[in-house]
Amino acid sequence: MPTFDYRFTIDAPQPVVLDFHHDTSVLKTLTPPPLFVQLHAVEPLGEGSKADFTIWFGPFPIRWQAVHSKVDDQGFTDTLVTGPLKNWQHRHQFVAINNEITQVNESIEYEFEKGVKGLVSRLMYSRASLTLLFTARKLITKKHLRTIMRSKNVHN
């Protein structure tokens, strides 16, 4: 199966980064234009919790259903149950570099469907598309966590 790995560091303590990502509605925040996420049913993050959502690529809806596993104090994994690919397993890991810096590790194992469905997903989830998506998510994450950290510093 193909794999995709993306890493970056962020100026925030690991528990703060973990809490930010444990909010399952953050998927909407982390999805950059021109994509749009519509949440249908998203359970609080926990072992076996489910997420049902649609990612809109302009006028084209792509329905996803995923289940979370390996939820711990280092991260979590989401696994595609139904959606545009044959397989998709995405591990989010948050590693403390020190008390103020966290490394975010994104690792995805995925497999395309055959035929026309596979052709469409190969275009939408190509290595270049994933790199653009995760670069945008990095910038969005950094922006939101800067705001969170400023807010915590004001209140301390």
Q: Tell me the per-residue pLDDT of 103-146, one tens digit each, with 9 for 90 and over.
A: 999 999 999 999 888 888 888 899 999 999 999 999 999 999 99
For residue 30, what are the domain limits?
A: 3-155
| Residue-level pLDDT at 156 | 54
Tell me: the pLDDT tens digits for 2-26?
Answer: 999 999 999 999 999 999 999 988 9
At 152, the pLDDT band (50, 70, 90 cuts) reads confident
Q: Provide mean pLDDT across the span 70-93.
A: 97
Q: For the chain, how many structural domains are there in total?
A: 1
Quick: pLDDT tens for 23-72: 988 999 999 988 999 999 999 999 999 999 999 988 889 999 999 999 99
Give dist(CA 112, CA 2) in Å, integer: 9
User: Is 18:151 a contact under the CB 8 Å cutoff?
Assistant: no
List phi, psi (to 5°) of 73: -80, 5
CATH code for the domain of 84: 3.30.530.20
Share of the chain above pLDDT 70, in %: 98
Q: pTM for this structure?
A: 0.92
- Binned at pLDDT 50, 70 and 90, residue 155 comes out as low
